[in-house]
Amino acid sequence: MLADLFIQSFRSHWFTKDELDEIEHGFNYVKECLTELKWPNPLEIAPAFSAFYLFAHASLEGKVQVEEYIDYFTHKSSGSHSSLSPELHPLLDQLYGYFQWKRNASLSQKINERKSLTHSSQVEDFCSSLDDARLTGLYNNQNEKLNIDFTVDVLPFPLQILDPRIVRIPPGKNNELHKHAHETVFIFLSGTGIVKIDDVRVPVKTGDFVFIPRWCMHQSMNTSDSEMVFLAVADFGITGKSFTGNYLKTARLKEE
């Protein structure tokens, strides 16, 4: 349930500081309205918070349940989340959805405005290559013990959702065994080897495409005597916004 994700995100401090501040302010304002017997101002808090006030206003039992939630989320109670009433979970579902909407609202707006986002009149701003000087180094890792040696470069495009990256692995080496929230398609440009996807081993060669599902453990191994190069196209632009927590920590063996 989304309610469980909301509680886990709160307990683990996966929300941003601004989001945590808004959560505390929203619940404190609801409690203030309940105490002073006044209706919430829709300009003061999001409707997702006002729903808790309406639930509390309906019955004495509901008021007690809401106050328990407020004390928990404003750190005024030492109680466990397991003691919170599951009757309010649909309201937490709405609250979780509200924060997801806030994170992706600007992207949705650009999609639905139906306006061209062409950013330049120069041909080179729409084209790149493996030897492009504008490629930006994003990440690299070498670990002799784990036979890890690879680099990751980012293409010079102002992308919003897609995130194509060029991965290079020397002969006989591999990248990290890792997992992440975004789904990816690998397009192999040179070299041969194996891609591990959980318990599946996929032989690959130049010209192959490989699908990497979300959260699967995967690793690319270069079994050839030349450099392996592939383009990894992911939906990081939207996944990175939707993911709650330290995104890079879930996907990388070393800290940057």
Q: Is residue 62 domain-shared with residue 8, that is, in the same domain?
A: yes
The pLDDT, as a whole number, for residue 1 is: 80
State the total domains in the chain. Answer: 2
What is the mean pLDDT for each group of 10 consecutive residues in the chain (256 residues)? 91 94 96 94 94 95 94 82 87 96 94 95 96 95 95 96 97 95 97 98 98 97 97 94 83 62
d(CA 165, CA 145): 25
List the 218-222 sheet strands across, edge first.
200-204, 193-197, 218-222
242 and 135 inside one domain: yes
Whether residue 55 sits in one domain with residue 163: no
- The pTM assigned to this predicted structure is 0.87
Q: Considering only CA atoms, which of 167, 145, 147 is closest in space to residue 155? A: 167
The pLDDT assigned to 79 comes to 66
Domain encompassing residue 13: 2-113
